[in-house]
Structure 1
């Protein structure tokens, strides 16, 4: 089961600090999860410039130039944000019994673990 999913709020926990032009400490929403590569794309983080070749669309307008876009980050470099404390936390799983239409089913559910400082 995935620890980080699309739409989660995450924080960058490694890399260059913001004072040196990096993204460590920044928070953003997950746009895409690349499961086979163990990477995530986070909104507003890890911007790269991409040079796009000039072309024409069906209507005749020209496209191309220099674009900035988010690049993927490895899963180990981001941490999920706890919705209560708004701090980075680890993710755990627990099994809960869900009853629907008289049928009970065991489902694994994600939850944010508490860090030692918060207790």
Structure 2
């Protein structure tokens, strides 16, 4: 079960952007990578082309590049520090029937990860 999901708030633990926090835009499970908003910007050169209307496309654009999932940690919503994620099984009652559901929760964060 994945610990980091889309729209989670994460903090970068290592690399050039160490300490920055951002929202997860995309998770790529095949390569164990995540794309974080505002982190790991790269410059991409795109070929100049033309659309149907005649406007030019292409040039130099900056975009977020993927980061390995081991270099980010989920941020605890209460303390705003990176923390580990745990799973617990809870029983919820929905429409009169009991259901067993796995729920993610932020474990207690110590000094700092």
Match of 2:105 among 91, 101, 111: 111
Task: Determine if the alignment matches structure 1 residue 93 to structure 2 residue 93.
Answer: no
Equivalent position of 1:76 in the other structure: 70
- What is the root-mean-square deviation in Å for CA atoms of aligned residues? 1.2
After the TM superposition, which residues 18-37 of structure 1 pair with which residues of structure 2 at under 5 Å, given as runs? Answer: 22-37=16-31
Equivalent position of 1:39 in the other structure: 33
Instruction: Give the secondary-structure state (helix, strand or coil) at the position aligned to 1:76.
Output: helix
Deviation, structure 1 residue 115: 2.5
Structure 1 gap ranges (5+): 16-21
Deviation beyond 4 Å, 4+ runs, structure 1: none
TM-score by length of 2: 0.95
**Structure 2: distance between partners of 1:109 and 1:36:** 24
Instruction: Give the secondary-structure state (helix, strand or coil) at the position aligned to 1:49.
Output: strand
TM-score by length of 1: 0.90
Aligned residues: 112
**Structure 2: distance between partners of 1:72 and 1:79:** 14
